[in-house]
Amino acid sequence: MNWFKKDPLQIVIFQSYGTDTHFYMRGRALEDETINLEQKGLLGLFINSWKRFETDEIKHTELKISLPDKTVLKTITDDHGYFKIDVQLKNLNAMANDEGWLKIEASYNDVNIKRSIQNENRFPGELLIPCPKADFGVISDIDDTIIHTGVVSTLKWKVLLNSIFKNAASRIPLEGAADFYHKLHRGASGDNANPIFYVSHSPWNLYRYLEFFLKQNTFPKGPILLRSFKDIFKKKSGDQPQKHIEIVNILKTYPHLKFILIGDSGEHDADIYIAIAKAFPSQVAAIYLRSVSHKKKMQRVKLLFQDYNQIPVLLVESSDQAIKHAQHNGFIA
């Protein structure tokens, strides 16, 4: 962090999703704190973690989003530097590649900004529009589903340790998870492009950290859906968890597509997933919940699904077990 000179500006575009007629994009305008995602050493890792949460956001500033067909969309950042574009357009599929990714470019639109801007004021981003050959979609949790976090540890001390004192490059994915997700992405034919959505309770401040982890460990690319700190503190008793809201939004966006829900047995995934399966019975194809080393939590989850037999549900001990189950149910080759 430079105390005597203002950092250059950047735009972080969160990979999002849409349809042929629905453009939905989120992101954030920030000062570039030059966070090294491969940083080593306790002091350096602590400083990086501080930078992630002590952000210098660019408030109330106009941005423009340029599409390949020269369409330009404009938006203004909010009090925390976030922006969202949610508009109806036409023929977005035609601009996406074979995997369904539509490339866009964001930039600051205020010519009077007297600040250095990174990347010559050109910030690439992508929007996923699932292609017609998708048989189903996958919605996956991140914490303790594909990455070890220690969410069931006493007082969650392992979560703190892993998030602050480990860089993204050194985090270890759960064994075989990436291979399982690639098989789901390719589907029963081996040639599909089934969309993968990653949903977490983590704040948007960890977006690049998680994006780097997924890429570093060769997971299929997909939208990463997190939440802002303001949503954490504004939550009222009785409100649905943000993860629940995000999953419902995905199902409503693609009403004709079935989804496999993947999570863990440590926190609230089981409750969220069974509630969603009951609310959207025609859209949930299966539920996979990774087992955790906590007897009481595992017993609670087993009781929760004891009398539920509407769709396949598996408490996963290993990725090999999940792969065999998915093959048996015709999800993968």
Chain centroid to Cα 200, Å, comes to 6
Rounded to 5 degrees, φ, ψ at 242 are: -60, -35
Per residue of the chain (333 residues), what is the pLDDT tens digit? 444 457 889 999 999 999 999 999 999 998 876 544 444 444 443 444 434 444 578 999 999 999 999 999 999 999 989 999 999 999 999 999 999 999 999 999 987 788 899 999 999 999 999 988 899 999 999 988 888 764 433 433 343 444 444 444 444 678 899 999 999 999 999 999 999 999 988 888 888 888 888 998 999 999 999 886 555 555 555 568 889 999 999 999 999 999 999 999 877 899 999 999 999 999 999 999 998 877 888 899 999 998 898 999 999 999 999 999 999 999 999
Q: What is the pLDDT of residue 234?
A: 56
Q: What is the pLDDT of residue 77?
A: 96
On whether the CB atoms of residues 21 and 89 are closer than 8 A, the answer is yes
Q: What is the pLDDT of residue 4?
A: 44
Q: What is the pLDDT of residue 143?
A: 83
> Which residue from 219, 272, 217, 268 is spatially nearest to 245, judged by alpha carbons?
272
Q: What is the pLDDT of residue 279?
A: 96
d(CA 81, CA 12): 10
Q: Tell me how far CA of residue 299 lies from CA of 291, 306, 315, in angstroms.
A: 10, 10, 11
On whether the CB atoms of residues 325 and 317 are closer than 8 A, the answer is no
Q: CA dihedral in degrees (270, 273, 278, 281; nearest 10)?
A: -140
> Which residue from 137, 200, 210, 208 is spatially nearest to 173, judged by alpha carbons?
210
Residue 169 token pair: 């490059």
pTM: 0.86
